C-alpha cells in the first residue's frame, strides 16, 4: 500500500493549481504524516475529472467527499475520525473468501438481522449458502475511467462536495490509506473492504468516486442487463453491506432489480 508520507511531494508536483485546502492527519498518536489533502470549500465542476484522468502520472486519487452533517468539522474528514492504524493491507486478503465469510456470518448475524429462517427467506434463492462470486464483466478499454468521470460530473451537478486527494494506486486503496472507517459496524479493518472493492474494479470496472461518513458510491461502466444476471452480483453487494437488504429492500431479489442498468453502486452502513 502506498505510504501517506509521499502525499506532500505528490501535491507539489501536480500540473494543475489546486484551490485552497489543507493536509489532514489521522487520529491522535498516528504520527505527523498527512493522510489526505482536502479542499476548504466545495470543488468546482471538472476538477475531479481532470485529476482522475491524471492519476496514472500523479499517483493521487481524487475523491468527492461528503460529510455526516453540516457542522464545521466536516465529519469524518476534519474531525479526527480517520484511523489508518486500524487498517492492514488489502493485498493480504482473498476477496472471495472475505465475501463468503461475511455472507455466512460470524455468530452475530442472527442477533442483528433476525433468525436463520428470516435471513434465508430474505436472501432467496441462495438462502444462507454462499453462491460464489459473480462472473466478471467484459469492460472495453477506457470505459471505466470515462464512466467514473461522468458520474462525478453528474453528482456535482446536484450537490456540493469537497475534493479529497489521496496518494494511492486506486480508489479502493485510497480508503485504507486515509483511514476511512465508514463500514466499522460491519468490518473494522477497511483494508478488507478495499480488497473487495479493488477486485470489483478488476472484474467490473467499478471505481470509487464519492465517499461520505459511512457511505460510498462507485461508478459502473457495464451494469447487468437482467435480474438473473444481477442476482449473483447483488449477493456480493449484500455480503459487503448487509444493510442494503436488511434495512433496505427487504429481499435480495428486490435489490438485484435495482442493479439492472444502473451505472452506479451505492453503499451505506448503519
Spatial separation of the C-alpha atoms in residues 71 and 192, rounded to whole Å:
30
Average the pLDDT over 109-117 and give the result: 72
- pLDDT value at residue 177: 94
Average the pLDDT over 81-93 and give the result: 93
Average the pLDDT over 65-83 and give the result: 92
**Res. 25 pLDDT band, cuts 50 70 90:** confident
Regarding pTM above 0.85, the answer is yes
Residue 71 has pLDDT above 60, yes or no: yes
> At residue 256, what are phi and psi to the nearest 5 degrees?
-60, -35
Share of the chain above pLDDT 70, in %: 93
Average the pLDDT over 247-261 and give the result: 97
Residue 135 has pLDDT above 60, yes or no: yes
Q: What is the mean pLDDT of the chain?
A: 93
Strand partners for 32: none
Spatial separation of the C-alpha atoms in residues 267 and 193, rounded to whole Å:
12
If one counts every other C-beta atom within 10 angstroms of the C-beta of residue 265, the result is 22
Residue 156 has pLDDT above 90, yes or no: yes
- pLDDT value at residue 113: 76
Percent helix, strand and coil across the chain, each rounded to 5? 45, 15, 45
List CB contacts of 157: < 8 A, sequence separation 6 or more.
45
Spatial separation of the C-alpha atoms in residues 172 and 182, rounded to whole Å:
13
- pLDDT tens digit sequence for 27-61: 654 556 789 999 999 999 899 999 999 999 999 99
- Which three cell numbers mark 188? 473494522
Containing 256, the helix (H) or strand (E) segment is helix 252-259
What letter would DSSP give residue 135? P
Which of 193, 172, 173 minimizes the C-alpha distance to 237?
193
Place of cell 498518536: 29
Q: What is the 3-state secondary structure (H, E, C) of 58-98?
A: HCEEEEEECCCCCCCCCCCCCCCCCCHHHCCCHHHCCHHHH
Helices (H) and strands (E) in the chain, counts: 11, 7
- pLDDT value at residue 45: 87
> At residue 181, what are phi and psi to the nearest 5 degrees?
-120, 30
List CB contacts of 12: < 8 A, sequence separation 6 or more.
none
Spatial separation of the C-alpha atoms in residues 134 and 69, rounded to whole Å:
36
Share of the chain above pLDDT 90, in %: 83
- pLDDT value at residue 6: 80
- pLDDT value at residue 60: 97
Cis ω for the linkage preceding 123 (within 30 of 0): no
- pLDDT tens digit sequence for 197-252: 999 999 999 999 999 999 999 999 999 999 999 999 999 999 999 999 999 999 99
Contact between 95 and 195 (Cβ < 8 Å) = yes
Q: Which is more confident, 25 or 77?
A: 77
Residue 25 burial class via C-beta count within 10 angstroms: exposed 0-12, middle 13-18, buried 19 and up = middle
- pLDDT value at residue 106: 59
Amino acid at each position: 500500500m502506498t505510504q501517506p508520507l509521499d502525499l506532500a511531494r505528490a501535491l507539489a508536483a501536480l500540473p494543475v493549481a489546486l484551490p485552497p485546502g489543507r493536509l489532514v492527519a489521522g487520529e491522535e498518536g498516528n504520527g505527523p504524516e498527512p493522510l489526505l489533502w482536502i479542499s476548504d470549500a466545495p470543488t468546482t465542476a471538472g476538477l475531479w475529472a481532470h485529476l482522475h484522468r491524471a492519476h496514472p502520472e500523479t499517483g493521487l486519487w481524487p475523491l468527492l467527499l461528503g460529510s455526516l452533517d453540516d457542522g464545521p468539522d466536516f465529519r469524518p474528514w476534519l474531525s479526527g475520525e480517520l484511523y489508518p492504524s486500524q487498517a492492514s493491507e488489502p493485498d493480504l486478503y482473498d476477496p472471495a473468501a472475505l465475501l463468503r465469510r461475511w455472507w455466512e456470518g460470524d455468530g452475530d448475524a442472527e442477533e442483528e438481522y433476525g433468525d436463520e429462517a428470516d435471513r434465508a427467506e430474505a436472501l432467496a434463492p441462495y438462502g444462507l449458502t454462499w453462491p460464489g462470486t459473480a462472473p466478471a464483466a467484459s469492460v472495453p478499454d477506457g470505459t471505466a475511467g470515462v464512466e467514473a468521470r461522468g458520474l462525478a460530473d453528474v453528482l456535482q451537478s446536484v450537490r456540493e462536495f469537497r475534493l479529497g486527494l489521496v496518494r494511492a494506486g486506486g480508489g479502493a486503496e485510497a480508503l485504507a490509506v486515509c483511514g476511512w472507517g465508514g463500514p466499522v459496524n460491519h468490518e473494522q479493518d477497511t483494508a478488507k473492504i478495499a480488497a473487495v472493492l479493488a477486485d470489483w474494479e478488476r472484474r467490473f470496472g467499478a471505481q470509487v468516486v464519492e465517499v461520505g461518513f459511512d457511505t460510498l458510491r462507485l461508478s459502473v461502466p457495464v451494469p447487468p442487463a437482467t435480474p438473473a444476471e444481477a442476482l449473483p452480483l447483488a449477493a456480493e453487494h449484500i455480503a459487503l453491506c448487509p444493510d442494503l437488504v436488511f434495512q433496505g429492500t427487504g429481499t435480495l431479489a428486490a435489490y438485484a432489480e435495482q442493479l439492472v442498468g444502473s451505472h452506479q453502486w451505492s453503499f451505506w452502513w448503519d
